[in-house]
Structure 1
Amino acid sequence: MTAEIKSSIAVIVVNYGTADLSIEAVESVLAHQHGGHPVEVHLVDNASPGDDAARFAQAHDERGWGDRVTLWLERENHGFGRGNNVALHALAQRETPPDYFFLLNPDATLNNEALAVLSDFMDARPGAMVAGARIERPDGRPVQAVFRFPDTRSEFASAVCFGPITRLFEHPAFSTADGPIQVDWVSGAAVMFRFATARDVGFFDPDFFLYFEETELIWRMHQQGEVWFVPDAVIGHIAGAATGMQEGRHRTKAQPGYWYDSWRLYFAKTRGVGGARRAALARYLGTGMNAVLRGLTGKSPDAPTGFWKDFTGHVMRPLFGGDPLEARPDGRTLKADWLRKSR
């Protein structure tokens, strides 16, 4: 009897300054059997400060990772999307690339045979281009992992953040279903892509440094087929450990400049310049209304620190008086400026 040929999977972990967590993420992949699917791991270090690269080389030797794990020790910080592209473009050059690739955050681990669950699901559904896993905090509480694509209405509802108005304008939320459900997009912390389709649409857009890049890629994948949430695949996630972001906002209350750049690029690329302008005006109006409503109750506005200056400079001016698709793909100057400002 001929042995069944299982679909192959490449797991990609992109690290920046979280060596211990990234090593745990890799170990969690190596600790599972994956239902017989051939699995390889690619660990990309984005020129982390400190000794992350040396620690990965040491772990590779001392833990016996061998050819199961490929290290990509980069000399510049590519950001998330381009960091993944380092491994993806190399895989695309193979005579036989993997059938799927799976993105795993460095602050996430496999809680079960998630890779087998997702790949088997996609094997059975040729129209499935993307499949996301259930994500849980260390205490077992689920993390929001399924979403509708952002648009003008959702931006206003999110910014105004006032019960009756928010409920009037927000999209109905996807439920955290007990079984597979088709959705718009899923969290990039734990998501599987059909490799051939992602290659055909160009992998990650290099214009994005950080944030919105997985949403934009899934937008393009969604044009080619289905996006699914598969809750039987379970991932543990220490939310915000790798990025500093929690519940969509940075722990310092200031948003990085490149977050605003990515917001603008996402809307301009997916909704067109007109749609991006409408979304920007909606967020502006909603944020102003939130400030007034919160002020009436003696509370501080919900907007991030420096919102008006940063949103005007990074979003409104390029959209209404400059180049809406202006890209700053290295992100390094913006990041340095933001870090200095937030200290």
Structure 2
Amino acid sequence: MTRRPDPVPAEIAVITVNYGTAALALEAVESVLAADHGGRGIEVHLVDNASPDDDAQAIRAAAGQRGWGDRVHLYFEEENHGFARGNNLVFRALEQRDTPPDKVFLLNPDARLGNEAMERLADYLDEHPQTATVGARISMPGGRAVTSAFRFPGMISVLAETANFGPISRLFERYVVPLRPEQPTGPVDWVSGAAVMFRFAPIREAGFFDPDYFLYFEEVDLQWRLARAGWGSALVAEAHVIHEEGAATRIRSDESRTARPDYWYNSHRIFLRTTLGRSRAALTAAAMLPAAWMNHLHSAVRGRTVHLPADFIRDHCRVVLKPLLLGERSEPPGRIGGAGGHG
């Protein structure tokens, strides 16, 4: 990691964690540097998570060619830390300062500001002192809005989503995790980690991201812990971010049959265990099997594609259910790809 002296205190520190998407990460940083942010002082931290190929060289070259200077702090890691630990290493550096930033804004490497989003997010935090987390409205480059605000998952919502059966989904509609893409500004349970702003003091008190997560569910976990501590989350629909979903992770929300990597299942298991306790998490994971079989059955009867990732039952049993039943903790994620941001 490249160490630099403490800069002049900035109100907002922006963090982008890159893995294999250098060209997009450079655009993300440029979108931040080009904005005014309502006159707020900002600084940018760009972490390269041991990317393959020549990402590190491309970032170094661009920093010099574009004259970033001290406006952008560069971190060139020798290990792929994943999203949680990649952001944590910047959080830890910030907390060592005499005057840490008041706010941090996490921006995916495959995302960019669509307007003065950071100003609008910061304004909301300033006007709502009990809110610790705010997220932006997110759209694809073509303009299609995607869900960026959610309810916390629970046993009922997990089983209903796995079954994906109309009568069950309608019966438990109020437990459905994704809110509508056109969700208006206001309090929600949690917001997407692709473009999220936190107050720094509450997340420092919460211990930042749980380092057991490699990628996925870590932002849900942190906002769940903040909620338990009395802090709120909100969507700010006036703040707009453009997200090329899947560029960093190769996983898109509209491609339900895409196989999930082991780290997705690892993260799901950790989240279930954290929020439900091991016994209820194991019960939920076991109950997901008949729900998945129901999904396969009614999809076959109606001639429709199963709305589950490929090899879901096998991978869920191997990476989620078995370790919960045996009381095993998560395995170290190791040096694996796809950890530059959220899908």
**TM-score (ref. length: structure 1):** 0.90
Give yes or no for the alignment of 1:63 onto 2:54: no
What is the root-mean-square deviation in Å for CA atoms of aligned residues? Answer: 1.9
Runs (4+) of structure 1 exceeding 4 A deviation are 175-179, 248-251
Q: Quote the offset at 1:162 in angstroms.
A: 2.0
Match for 2:218: what amino acid?
E
Match for 1:72: what amino acid?
Y
Classify the secondary structure of the residue corresponding to 1:247: coil
Which residue matches 2:319?
314
Which residue matches 1:201?
206
Q: Quote the offset at 1:307 in angstroms.
A: 1.7
Classify the secondary structure of the residue corresponding to 1:95: coil
Relative distance call for 1:25 and 1:91 in structure 2 (3 A) is: same
CA distance in 1, matches of 2:187, 2:80: 34
Give yes or no for the alignment of 1:226 onto 2:232: yes
**TM-score (ref. length: structure 2):** 0.90
Greater shift after overlay, 182-191 or 296-305? 296-305
Which residue matches 2:27?
24
Which residue matches 1:168?
171
CA distance in 2, matches of 1:270, 1:178: 25
Relative distance call for 1:55 and 1:161 in structure 2 (3 A) is: same
Which residue matches 1:74?
77
Which residue matches 1:340?
none
Q: Quote the offset at 1:212 in angstroms.
A: 0.7
Match among 96, 99, 120 for residue 96 of structure 1: 99
1:1-343 map, 5 Å: 8-170=11-173, 171=175, 174-176=179-181, 179-224=184-229, 225-247=231-253, 253-323=258-328, 326-332=329-335
Q: Check the 8 A contact 2:263/2:333 in 1, yes or no.
A: no
Relative distance call for 1:271 and 1:226 in structure 2 (3 A) is: same
Relative distance call for 1:177 and 1:294 in structure 2 (3 A) is: closer
Q: Check the 8 A contact 2:136/2:238 in 1, yes or no.
A: yes
Residue ranges of structure 1 left out of the alignment (5+ in a row): 1-5, 337-343
CA distance in 1, matches of 2:304, 2:144: 29
Q: Check the 8 A contact 2:133/2:197 in 1, yes or no.
A: yes
Relative distance call for 1:204 and 1:250 in structure 2 (3 A) is: farther
Q: Quote the offset at 1:231 in angstroms.
A: 0.6
Q: Report how many aligned residue pairs link the two structures.
A: 327
Q: Deviations over 1:250-284 (max 9, x none)?
A: 77x21101111110001101221133123213322
Which residue matches 1:3?
none
CA distance in 2, matches of 1:300, 1:144: 22
Relative distance call for 1:71 and 1:254 in structure 2 (3 A) is: same
Q: Quote the offset at 1:168 in angstroms.
A: 1.4
Q: Quote the offset at 1:242 in angstroms.
A: 0.9
Q: Quote the offset at 1:300 in angstroms.
A: 4.5
Residue ranges of structure 2 left out of the alignment (5+ in a row): 1-8, 339-343
Percent identity at matched positions? Answer: 50
CA distance in 1, matches of 2:33, 2:240: 16
Q: Quote the offset at 1:245 in angstroms.
A: 1.1
